[in-house]
């Protein structure tokens, strides 16, 4: 009969058994182990084997195989773990912090980020999903593995049974509460070192600076401290100066640029733990869905001066475009915080100027229509005649082959007579040029201010 066995190095060995005890157990028996080639080497084994029901054909005959997981001469079991928990927790007072000779308890801290759950500029809120990992030593929980099966080097205990650091958020978005639950587990090593992983969704306040919205970047901090303990009692140590981003899943709206984990001592002689996240807004959506439509609406506003006066649609067209800009302004205001500090968004100022320009276009259209439909009974003042010749008649003679033939010459200047319709046309041309320059200047100032920031 042959035995298939895995040893401690996970190597598979085959054994030839010379003797089997009837109850299925092996004592110190002489076995032969298959090595390279066909050599058989004698060896001893100690353990309990369970007979398998598998039947395998080997060397032309049916041989029964059994398997043995070799764990060593001695190994711990449930009884050893139960006894260990009883021994280390007997007389243990979880209200007393661990200390060696009155020295401060050193607590190593790291933070693993999983995802950026939420960042709301209007509410001033950030929610980060991740996990703290605390490592410290409590000699009261140390033990000798040889007394518990020989290889019991790690175990787990509930948070409610031992002393653990209790973090409190100093800038919470909601109510103040301690982090962690009593049913969480800590991993304990035989030398007294404790590892406690605290996963949660951590929410804090974060005042957004929307000056450069939507090309802005934000810096948010989550601040924690352990109440009741000063620097003489505990020392916090940031084992990693940055947040671990190995498990982080990218956010569709924000890109995290850099992070930091720092520990600082306050004037009140207690330490605070500060997680800082610097993130940058992804702007593709805002460029395609916000800025480009605004620029297009600015462009189509200018068409009001090209629409023929006889159509009667100038006023309605300009008001419609102005209302569209007002809708965009409302959408943006809903996304921004209702505060003036540190600054109001530059985009808000840009849209405000766009609305002012739009209102100016409506006034210009109304004035132009009054010029256009004024009767010839009232003579055209000399200043308006010069204005019309400058902006309309001179351009018409230069760019048109046909000559404007007036009904009669002006008896004073002996030149072509300027009508109120000519004044209206000249006024439209002047307004078109003026508002083109205004919109270009407004957009240029906005993008220049964004780039300088």
Q: Which residue has the higher pLDDT, 433 or 65?
A: 433
Residue-level pLDDT at 49: 38
Q: Which helix (H) or strand (E) holds 156?
A: strand 154-158
| CA dihedral of 345, 346, 352, 356, whole degrees rounded to 10 | 170
Rounded CA separation 277/113 (Å): 10
Is the pLDDT at 18 greater than 70, yes or no? no
Going by pLDDT thresholds of 50, 70 and 90, the confidence category of residue 74 is low
Measured from the Cβ of residue 176, the count of other Cβ atoms closer than 10 Å reads 10
pLDDT band at 427 (very low <50, low <70, confident <90, very high): confident
Computed over every residue of the chain, the mean pLDDT equals 78
pLDDT at 56: 37
pLDDT score, position 32: 39
Judged by DSSP in three states, 273 sits in strand
- Listed by start position, the domains of the chain span 2-69, 78-281, 285-452
Say yes or no to pLDDT of 285 above 50.
yes
- Higher per-residue confidence, 256 vs 17: 256
Q: What letter does residue 170 receive in the DSSP assignment?
A: S
In whole angstroms, give the CA distance from residue 366 to residue 372.
10
Average pLDDT of span 142-162:
92
Q: How confident is the model at residue 243 (pLDDT cuts 50, 70, 90)?
A: very high
CA angle 67, 69, 75 (to 5 degrees): 145
* pLDDT at 404 exceeding the cut of 50: no
Per-residue pLDDT averaged across 371-393, rounded?
76
- What pLDDT sits at residue 193? 96
At 60, the pLDDT band (50, 70, 90 cuts) reads very low
What's the mean pLDDT in 255-268?
92
Measured from the Cβ of residue 59, the count of other Cβ atoms closer than 10 Å reads: 6
CA nearest neighbour of 121 among 255, 200, 245, 211: 211
Average pLDDT of span 358-384: 84
Q: pLDDT band for 22, please (50, 70, 90 cuts).
A: very low
Q: Which of 127-131, 169-173, 258-262, 312-316 has the lowest mean pLDDT?
A: 312-316
pLDDT higher than threshold 70 for residue 99: yes
What pLDDT sits at residue 129? 96
Q: Tell me: the pLDDT tens digits for 384-393?
A: 777 777 766 5
Distances (CA, A) of 135 to 97, 132, 152, 195, 228: 14, 10, 20, 5, 19
Residue 387 CB partners (closer than 8 Å, separation 6+): 423, 426, 427, 430
Look up the CATH architecture of domain 78-281: Distorted Sandwich (2.70)
> Is residue 234 exposed (0-12), middle (13-18) or buried (19+ Cβ within 10 Å)?
buried
Q: Where are the alpha helices (DSSP H) in 290-419?
A: 292-301, 314-335, 346-372, 382-388, 394-399
């Amino acid at each position: 009969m042959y035995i298939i066995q895995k040893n401690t190095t996970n190597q598979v060995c085959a054994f030839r058994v010379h003797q089997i005890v009837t109850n299925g157990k092996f004592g110190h028996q002489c076995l032969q182990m298959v090595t390279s080639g066909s050599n058989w080497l004698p060896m001893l084994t100690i353990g309990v084997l369970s007979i398998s029901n598998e039947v395998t054909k080997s060397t032309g005959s049916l041989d029964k195989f059994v398997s043995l997981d070799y764990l060593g001469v001695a190994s711990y079991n449930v009884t050893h773990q139960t006894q260990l928990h009883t021994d280390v927790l007997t007389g243990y007072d979880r209200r007393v912090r661990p200390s060696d000779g009155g020295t401060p308890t050193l607590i190593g801290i790291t933070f693993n980020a999983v995802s950026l759950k939420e960042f709301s500029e209007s509410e001033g809120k950030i929610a980060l999903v991740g996990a703290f990992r605390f490592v410290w030593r409590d000699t009261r929980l140390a033990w000798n593995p040889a007394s518990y099966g020989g290889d019991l080097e790690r175990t787990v205990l509930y948070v409610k049974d031992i002393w653990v650091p209790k973090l409190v958020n100093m800038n919470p978005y909601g109510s103040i509460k301690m982090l962690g639950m009593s049913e969480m587990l800590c991993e304990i090593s035989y030398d007294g070192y404790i590892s406690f992983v605290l996963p949660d969704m951590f929410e804090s306040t974060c005042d957004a600076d929307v000056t450069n919205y939507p090309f802005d970047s934000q810096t948010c901090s989550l601040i924690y401290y352990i109440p009741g303990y000063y620097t003489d009692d505990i020392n916090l140590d940031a084992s990693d100066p940055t947040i671990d981003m190995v498990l982080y899943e990218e956010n569709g709206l924000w890109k995290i640029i850099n992070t930091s984990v720092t520990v600082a001592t306050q004037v009140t002689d207690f330490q605070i733990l500060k997680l800082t996240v610097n993130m940058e807004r992804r702007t593709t959506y805002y460029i395609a869905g916000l800025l480009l439509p605004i620029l297009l609406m600015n462009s189509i506003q200018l068409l009001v001066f090209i629409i023929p006066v006889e159509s009667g649609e100038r006023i309605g067209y300009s008001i419609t475009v102005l209302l569209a800009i007002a809708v965009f302004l409302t959408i943006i205001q809903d996304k921004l915080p209702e505060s003036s500090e540190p600054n109001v968004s530059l985009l808000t100022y840009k849209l405000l100027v766009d609305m002012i320009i739009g209102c100016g276009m409506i006034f210009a259209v109304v004035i132009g229509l009054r010029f256009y439909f004024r009767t010839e009974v009232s003579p055209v003042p000399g200043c308006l005649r010069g204005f019309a010749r400058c902006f309309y008649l001179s351009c018409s003679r230069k760019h048109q082959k046909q000559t404007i033939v007036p009904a009669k010459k002006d008896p004073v200047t002996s030149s072509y007579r300027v009508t109120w319709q000519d004044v209206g046309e000249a006024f439209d041309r002047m307004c078109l040029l003026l508002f083109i320059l205004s919109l270009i200047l407004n957009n240029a100032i906005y993008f220049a201010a964004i780039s300088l920031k």
